[in-house]
Structure 1
């Protein structure tokens, strides 16, 4: 059975809405993943530094210079093939 132009327009509109919804969901998932990673990093840093009170966490934050941290991160070379990054799956 052949679809009429009106049916085709409705199908296009429905698929467009589905695509927009999927893109919104993907953006939301990326934002949530980044937020979770940032929170995990903060918890890890506070635990590693022994900052176990709100005051200690505030002192730790004050001690960290964002400019120096940013420079260290951008200056660090990316691991190449065959090198491991020492991440959680390093197998230690």
Structure 2
């Protein structure tokens, strides 16, 4: 079952990545499929179609999707720790 977590920042980031995908298809330097898959990854908790589309990316790159999900968890934990440090710093000051 899909868990909806609406966020304007995630929607903007996801749509920006999906908008870069056709440009990446035309330019040999940018990999269009990777931008599209990352856009689906970012939007997976925003829209049901993106959640389903991530299944395509997981079937194409099974280990990479797992690594990106693990990296997302680490980044969230790091941001929480940094936020706690900043709160402590400004509370003492």
Which category of TM-score, normalised to the shorter sequence, fits these structures? 0.3 to 0.5
Q: Which structure's CA Rg is the greater one?
A: 1
Q: Relative contact order (alpha carbons < 8 A, sep ≥ 6): 1 or 2 greater?
A: 2
Q: Flag the structure with higher helix content.
A: 2
